[in-house]
Structure 1
Amino acid sequence: MSVRSNIILNTVSQIYMALLSVATLPFYIDMLGSQAYGLVAFFMQLQTMIGLLDIGISATVSRNTALFGAGKLARNDYFAMLRSIEFSFVVVALCILGGVFSAPLLAQSWLNLGDFSVVVARDTIQLIFVVIALRWMQTYYRAIVLGAEQLVWLGWFNILVSSVRIFGVLPYLYLVSGDVLDFFLYQIVVNFIELMLLFFRTNKIAGFRQGERFGKINKSALSDAIVSSLVVGLTSLLWAVITQADKFLASGILPIADYTAYSLVISISSILLLLSGTCIYAIGPAMARLLAQDKKSEAVAVFRNISLVVSLMLGSASVVVIGWSESLLFAWTGNVPLSQKAAEFLPLYMLATLFFALGNLSYAINYAIGNFQLRLKYSIISLLLYLPTLAVLLWLFGEQGLVYGWLIVNLLFFVVPQFFLYRQLDHSLYKTSMVQDVCVPVMAAMSVLLLVFIVDLRPFNRLEIFAVLTLIGLLSLVVAVLLSRARLLLLPQLRQLLRK
């Protein structure tokens, strides 16, 4: 299966998952209530924070799997690493399960529950830790599938399990007249089945021989894996702190109903991260394999083409959200007060997330060459600038300061370090890729924002709003394609189709 086919299906699956999450969120709020959905939003935030424990080890598993497939890693060393890291993940999963004992403290002292039941919140948080432990183990097995470049299988698998996990819970809640506790009981069952399927799939991918699957834990292999992951992990940890700081503060300072509005903003903006992250992590193993085979020009071509695709998608998606945020939120939720509240944050938050997603493209370069030292240095500088800036902005502007801080740190990281990060792969890459593959298509897409002075969606109903915004998004995409390098890639293919 080609790199292109792998990436296309995996991207389609991620888009499907994102759209499914977006489409079902209003139903979650209606069925569970705004306060109870705040616990779902808290679950997503807590899951992200606990994911920091990975410290880049899953990325090392993925990269070593790619190198093993390319014949650049000895079989004994590879399987010793797999067994040892799997054991470490199991230990961490057990520690996460121990978090159930912190549920009373979180329910009573951290969350601003208002008149929501403390007992229900406590019991829900206990179930949340079980779900997170299951999803933690899934991270390890997904890394093996990703490193083996079996993205077609992973794409179809994601489509299936996300349909059951995200959409299937709605009829379940309706049939049992369920509440937020039933929601998480359902998630536990589905995530356990998902974990088992990933476990058996990775066993098939690895092709364990007798005595390789289970054996003694190799402390040296585990130590080497942790050391090699340390720089990757520290880099990820720093950016996880940056990306989660505003959300963590919001969960503590906002009433849980208002935190639901903030979570809407996060949910919409996270689509950009999902789209870009899918492509970045998909090409990482392929680029690492190509570089290991001394095919640098092919690796550069893969990076440039994916950067162009990501920029086209993100630019056209951002236009719709930035220009017509309140209308989009109303069409999505049907809740006018909630839409108005969330629209206060969404445009700037979306712009900030766009800078983050585009700046994160260079992660694929660091992954492919196996060197995160320079990225770590700039990440440290970003964190040192961000935290005091966020504190000052929060003091000056309140909750809106959280958005200002998120915008500033991502704008600076996009503008300054990328020149040096791109040069790690090729000295001319920044001039060609950042300009031609990123800035030009995004700026071309953003030109459609001029329609905001003409198109007023307030008189339209929800379905009409969706239709108009879809057309605006498509128009933005077409303009970006025509004014960027993408047209040079598409025109030959169109000519071939016309000749047929």
Structure 2
Amino acid sequence: MMLIGIVVTPLYLQHLGAEAYGLVGFFALMQAWMNLLDMGLGPTLGRQAAYARGQVEGFETFKRLLKSFEVIFFVLAVIIVFAIYILSDWIAISWIKSESIAIETLVYCVVLMGVMIGLRWFSGLYRSGINGLEDQVWLNVANIILTSLKFLGALCLLAFISQDIRHFFEYQVLIGLIELAAFSIRFYSILPVTKTRTPLVAFYWSVVKDVAPFAVGIAYTAGTWVLITQTDKLILSGVLSLAEFGYFSMISLVAGGIVMLSGPISQAIMPRLTMLYSQDNKNELLSLYSDASQLVTVTSLSVSLMIGLYAEPLIYAWAGDREAAEWGAGVLIWFALGNGVLAIAAFQYYLQSAFGQLRLHVIGSTLSAIIQVPLIFYAATNYGAQGAGITWFAFRTIWFLCWTPVVHRQFIPGFHLRWMLKGILPIAIVTMCVALAMHFLITLDLNQNRLDLFAKLISLGLLLLSVSALSSSAIRQRIFRLLKN
């Protein structure tokens, strides 16, 4: 999924131009902020589905919860679409800084963005349920197909039919409808049969009330998470021109890919951690937690260091735009490194979610937002995208080192030092040393053929990833077992 987005984005830029692509980046930003309205219901449904699998007749209660959530999601989806429709004129005229796109076109596209957000947000409910039931092979296949339709289908539209940005967003609305239908049908087809039947539309306050504390905790922390991860983009969307914001959207896509790399791992382990906790299987829970965190450390640090240290040749090889490469190199390095740290730091949240206790997560998210948001606001408004990137990396690193031991001490006392010194730190030291040695010894020339440049980047990246993987005790043990067998 990430590869499709990375391959297609420079072609979008070619067919749409920097300003129209900036509008696509603005849609991604709007979608991230609209997740605030989820209120923690999607992740809560996924957790309850996983928890129900470990309980006798757990799905009797779960189905009543599902029906109640469907009512809430439908009402909020309608509110989202209507609110964006009302605000579309203001967004198009007062916020977006466009020099060549007509106001009428901007308004129309913003309205379509609202419809897409409502559809994708509602389908997220069923996506969470499918993940909670651990039907992840089907979910991955569906995600690949839908992502291909979103990106490759849109590229065919732009290349062979129309380069009108309005037609691009109309096509995305159609894919949103298909996505909602596919996820809802699949979720109901794999939901276990229960003794009692639930009506098509119903709302059970007693069931919702039982999970409300957990959902509120998820909602609150999701809101602070959006503040933490999207404030810089929101500020820069008003500070930068639409063309520059298009470049920044490209940078965000590459840097965001680092966090996406850990997505499949978190998607796989979170329902399993929850089920192991419900079965009181602590040893297997800690083993899974340790091995998965090492795997994420290997992938996220290798990729973030490779992207950050070779930012300019990477952007040029990818987009073929020297202006974008020069503008983005000093920005990408800091966001890439910060996101690498962020992917590792997310594990303490997975642990809290499995235990169903989010008090510390609420406290941590609040403190993080109170400190970071003003810092990002100051850096972005005074020093632009690069200042925001440096602030992002510095704060993420300090927060990881200070807050993760607090969470571990609360849930698994005596575990943090072993986790850090034997699992995370050796991988980090080896990966950083090898990456810096490569950077100083191997210089890539932007004047060479882009395909040759890209091939060299991939080769260096695979070399760094291989060395980093061998520094992980969990991966070494797996390799030794395979060789022995």
Query: One-letter code of the match for 1:434?
Result: M
The separation in 1 between residues aligned to 2:6 and 2:440, in whole angstroms, is: 27
Letter in 2 for 1:23: V
Secondary structure of 1:276 counterpart: helix
Q: TM-score, normalised by structure 2?
A: 0.95
**Which residue does 1:153 correspond to in 2?**
138
Q: Which SS does the other structure have where 2:346 is aligned? A: helix
Give the corresponding residue for 2:469. Answer: 481
- Kept after mapping to 2: 8 A contact 1:331/1:466: yes
Post-superposition offset of 1:437:
2.6
Q: SS state of the match for residue 457, structure 1?
A: coil
- The 1:74/1:444 distance shift into structure 2, 3 A limit, reads same
Q: Are the equivalent residues in 1 in contact too, given 2:298–2:465 (CA < 8 A)?
A: yes
Could you tell me how far apart the structure 1 residues matched to 2:247 and 2:160 are?
A: 27
Aligned pair 1:469/2:454, yes or no?
Answer: no
Q: How far did 1:396 drift?
A: 4.3
Q: Does 1:443 align with 2:429?
A: yes
Q: Pick from 341, 345, 350: which aligns with 1:364?
A: 350
Counterpart in the other structure of 2:444: 457
CA offset at residue 156 of structure 1? 1.1
When residues 288 and 91 of structure 1 are mapped into structure 2, their CA distance, relative to the original with a 3 A threshold, is same
State the 1:487 CA deviation: 4.9
Structure 2 counterparts to residues 18-29 of structure 1, below 5 A: 18-29=2-13
Q: Choose from 204, 213, 218 the match for 1:218.
A: 204
Q: 1:72 to 1:374 in 2, by over 3 A?
A: farther
AA at the equivalent of 1:169: A
Q: Distance in 1 between matches of 2:181 and 2:292?
A: 32
Of 149, 171, 193, the residue aligned with 2:156 is 171
CA RMSD of aligned residues (A): 1.7
Query: Is residue 71 of structure 2 the alignment partner of residue 113 of structure 1?
Result: no
- 2:22 is matched with 38
Question: For structure 1, which runs of at least 5 residues remain unmatched after alignment?
Answer: 1-16
Equivalent residue number for residue 281 of structure 1: 267
* CA offsets 1:323-342 (integer angstroms, 9 cap, x no match): 11000000000011011111
Report what 1:66 is aligned to: 50
Segment drifting more, 422-431 vs 59-68: 422-431
From 190, 203, 212, the counterpart of 2:188? 203
**Conserved 8 A contact 2:277-2:355:** yes
Q: How far did 1:376 drift?
A: 1.3
Change (3 A) 1:32 1:395: closer
Quick check: 167-176 or 229-238, which moved more? 167-176
Counterpart in the other structure of 1:422: 408
| Corresponding position: 1:334 with 2:320 | yes
The 8 Å contact of residues 335 and 393 in structure 2, kept in 1 or not, is answered as: yes
Per the TM alignment, residue 137 of structure 1 is displaced from its structure 2 partner at its CA by 0.7
What are the within-5 Å matches in structure 2 for residues 26-425 of structure 1?
A: 26-71=10-55, 74-98=58-82, 99-207=84-192, 211-394=197-380, 396-425=382-411
Contact 2:316–2:325 (Cα < 8 Å) also in 1: yes
Q: Give percent identity, aligned residues only.
A: 28
**1:208 Cα deviation (Å)?**
5.0
Tell me, which stretches of 5 or more residues in structure 2 are unaligned?
none
The alpha-carbon distance between structure 1 residues 189 and 395, as it changes in their structure 2 partners (threshold 3 A), is closer
Distance 1:183 1:242 in 2: 30
Mapped to 2, the partners of 1:72 and 1:445 lie a distance apart of 46
Q: Which amino acid aligns with 1:260?
A: G
Change (3 A) 1:212 1:417: same
Question: Aligned in 2, Cα 1:220/1:490: closer, same or farther, shift over 3 Å?
Answer: closer
Aligned equivalents of 2:419, 2:75: Cα separation in 1 = 42
Q: For the structure 1 residues 73 and 67, does the alpha-carbon distance in structure 2 shift closer, same or farther, using more than 3 Å as the test? A: farther
C-alpha distance after superposition, 1:428-479 (max 9, x if no partner): 3212223333232133122222221222211422111111111111111122
How far apart, in 1, do the equivalents of 2:214 and 2:139 lie? 26
* Comparing 113-122 and 401-410, the one that deviates more: 401-410
Secondary structure at the counterpart of residue 292 of structure 2: helix
Q: Does the 8 Å CA contact 1:64/1:73 hold for their aligned counterparts?
A: no
In the alignment, is the contact (CA less than 8 A) between 1:319 and 1:473 conserved in 2?
Answer: no
What is the aligned residue count?
A: 481
- Please state how far the C-alpha of 1:215 moved relative to its aligned partner: 4.2
Q: How far has the Cα of 1:154 moved from its partner?
A: 0.8
- d(CA) in 1 for partners of 2:329, 2:248: 9
Which whole-Å CA distance do the structure 1 matches of 2:316 and 2:233 have between them? 22
Report the TM-score, using the length of structure 1 for normalisation. Answer: 0.92
Q: Deviations over 1:38-74 (max 9, x none)?
A: 1100000000100111122111101110111111664
Letter in 2 for 1:454: L
Counterparts of 1:493 and 1:455, CA distance in 2: 35
Distance 1:168 1:373, change over 3 A: same
SS across alignment from 1:275: helix
Letter in 1 for 2:186: R
Q: What CA distance in whole angstroms lies between the structure 1 residues aligned with 2:480 and 2:347?
A: 27
CA distance in 2, matches of 1:396, 1:72: 58
CA distance in 1, matches of 2:186, 2:85: 30
* Kept after mapping to 2: 8 A contact 1:281/1:364: no
SS of the counterpart of 1:228? helix
Q: Distance in 2 between matches of 1:291 and 1:376?
A: 21
Return the letter of the residue paired with 1:120.
Answer: T
